[in-house]
A = this chain, B = another copy of it.
Amino acid sequence: MATNPKKAVVLLSGGLDSTTVLAIVQDAGYEAFALSFRYGQRHSHELDRASRIAQNAGVARHVILDLDLSQFGGSALTADIAVPKDRDQSEMEADIPVTYVPARNTVFLSCALGWAETLGTGDIFIGVNALDYSGYPDCRPAYIAAFESMANLATKGGVEGTLPVTIHTPLIDLSKAQIIQRGRDLGVDYAQTISCYDPGGNGAACGRCDACQLRLKGFREAGLQDPVAYQKV
């Protein structure tokens, strides 16, 4: 079997979900092309982690694309608005939080689509998750299906039928605990990942933002210890 492996573009943020997706992609035999964004995040820890994760995983290539969405403003992740802390599940589910970055997944998937077409593949992977999610509209199955339909009208390969686009969402139906268990089975080192919206200067997680709370709950339910460092409070 000396055939070339299929290529896949994987969106990699350096977080728990996308790092698990990368492991799933490689386990499935794809040659992985990892894509991250410098999009005006308030902290660069994410990109440091993403680079190390990509390197350790031995991806075919890791591209960090500069895209300064903070020029538009409008989100706590890119603008000067406080990250909400200590919210309970019902508060998280009540509305779309200020940490929502307008059209972020749409922008990220669109860039992934451009790279995929250039690479000659239609396989794109994203770690969205419809359970245990933080209220973002662009994490839902209906959204992903609509993006895929659009993508197949947008590209040469999609229109000509030679390179149909598939947006793979291997985590979409999994709980955070199930994601962690799946990653652990695949040998993911979660100590390398970062989920916190507001880490300290040393990169230690705050333990109190929505992302930290969902992550800690996931490890608890999986019966595992989260290996990352948290700030003392």
Contacts and interface: CB of A to CB of B under 8 A. Distances in A.
Number of copies: 2
Contact of A159 (B137, B149, B150, B158): B137
A107 interface: yes
Contacts of A67: 65-67, 111
A156 B137 contact: yes
A131 interface: no
A203 interface: no
Nearest to A142: B153
Interface in A87-118: 96, 100-107, 109-111, 113-115, 117-118
Nearest to A117: B102
Contact of A72 (B63, B73, B101, B109): B63
Interface of A: 63, 65-69, 71-74, 96, 100-107, 109-111, 113-115, 117-119, 137-138, 140, 142-143, 146-147, 149-151, 153-156, 158-159
